[in-house]
Amino acid sequence: MAKFSRKGKKELQAISTASLPDIVFMLLFFFMVSTTMREVTLMVRTNLPFATEVTKLEKKSLVSYIYVGPPMLQYQVKLGTEPRIQLNDSFKTLGDIRDFISSERDAMKEDQRPLLTTSLKIDQNTRMGIVTDIKQELRKASALKMIYAARRKE
Amino acid sequence: MARRVPEVNASSTADIAFLLLIFFLVTTTMNVDTGLARMLPPMPEKNQKQADVEVKKRNIFPVLINMNDKLLVRGEPMDAMFLREKAKEFIVNPNNDPNLSEQDEKDIPLIGKYRVSKGVISLQNDRGTSYNMYMEVQNELVAAYDELRNNLSRSLFGKPFDKLTQDEQDAVSKAIPVRISEAEPKNVGGK
């Protein structure tokens, strides 16, 4: 029974983990390339509406965001549930939009300024009143290129 | 003869890479921003007189949304489902119906003679309209134009609109210009 006696003696070889770092680095690079940094912490809930005819936003550096929606739970004690405007990292009012747009413009390169696009991320249960006011402010700030953020519906 | 340098233990590079990976997973987002792109009309200049642009009644396609999210299209209540077809019919006006938009024959490079519609879709909403409804209507109107453009590009160039070259896209855009005007909103519902 020579065949069987050999089995116990030979030890199982350990799997080489030398390529593990390479695999993980590959994953890492994939995520670094395909994702973007989170820039603001959302303080309002923006449950975006659905649309079928959506277009992709191409250059992220040319886009400034305006968030509108009811404040998150932790702010509701102070602010209630009426939709609020969030610019960058704080709650703002309508009057601040023009300053916001001009500061966004200043931060851009001169030749790219006309390409500034404003993305309105608005909760779907918001009433149009506040949206209209924002649009008027954008017109006054002559930031005419805009996009209504929406999720793709198939 | 050079002394043999002991090899550096590389077994922890995996851990380091994992740490980095997890850091990036947490701090970044992957969501692609999508949405309906629109152009706002510029503010009228202060000393500029409001020049009333004469638009014939038949060339206007009024869409009204009230505070209860109900639609009124050309004076008739309508469901948002049918808006797209109605808008397309209004823009194209295949049978030269005197109630639908006028057509203007124009010479467009790459296409030749094409009957360009003079129709304008006028969208008006109340301050109490919900954003959801507004987006639904906007979407239907944009879809109407997109479908018309796609049809035209398919029949002329055999490709959908977004696969065309820049020149072809310009030509099709000229043949079917997107004309959605938004009137100042009314405040009936309060709020």
- B2-51 tens-digit pLDDT: 678 888 777 788 888 889 889 888 888 776 778 888 888 887 776 665 55
Answer yes or no: is A64 within a domain. yes
Domain membership of residue A67 (yes or no) is: yes
CA nearest A62: which of A139, A143, A131, A140?
A143
Q: How many domains does chain A have?
A: 1
> A144 in a domain, yes or no?
yes
In a domain, A135, yes or no: yes
- Report, in angstroms and rounded to the nearest whole number, the Rg of chain A calculated over CA atoms: 26
Instruction: State the virtual CA torsion across B87, B93, B95, B98 in degrees, nearest 10.
Output: 100
To test the contact with chain B by mutation, choose from A28, A33, A98 the residue with the greatest count of B C-beta atoms within 10 A, namely A28
For position A100, which CATH number holds?
3.30.420.270
pLDDT of B179 higher than 50:
yes
Measured between CB atoms, does A125 come within 8 Å of chain B? yes
pLDDT above 70: percentage of residues in chain A: 94
Q: Is residue A13 one of the residues assigned to a domain?
A: no
Decide if B155 touches A, using CB distance below 8 A.
Answer: no
For residue B111, the 8-state DSSP code is T
- Please give, rounded to a whole number of angstroms, the shortest distance from the CA of A19 to a CA of chain B: 9
**What is the pTM for the complete model shown?**
0.78
Segment holding A64, helix H or strand E: strand A63-69
Predicted ipTM > 0.90: no
Tens digit of each residue's pLDDT (9 = 90 or more) over A89-105: 888 888 899 999 999 88
Q: What is the dihedral of CA B164, B165, B167, B168, to 10 degrees?
A: -20
Q: How far apart are the first and last CA of chain B?
A: 88
What residue numbers bound the domain in which A64 lies?
50-152
Q: Is the per-residue pLDDT at B191 higher than 50?
A: no
**Considering CB atoms only, which of B34, B40, B129 is closest to A57?**
B34
Report yes or no on A145 lying in a domain: yes
Q: What percent of chain B has pLDDT over 90?
A: 1
Q: What is the mean pLDDT of chain B?
A: 82
Q: Is residue A60 part of a domain?
A: yes
Whether A141 contacts chain B with CB within 8 A: no
The string of pLDDT tens digits covering residues B68-103 is: 888 888 888 888 888 888 888 888 887 777 778 878
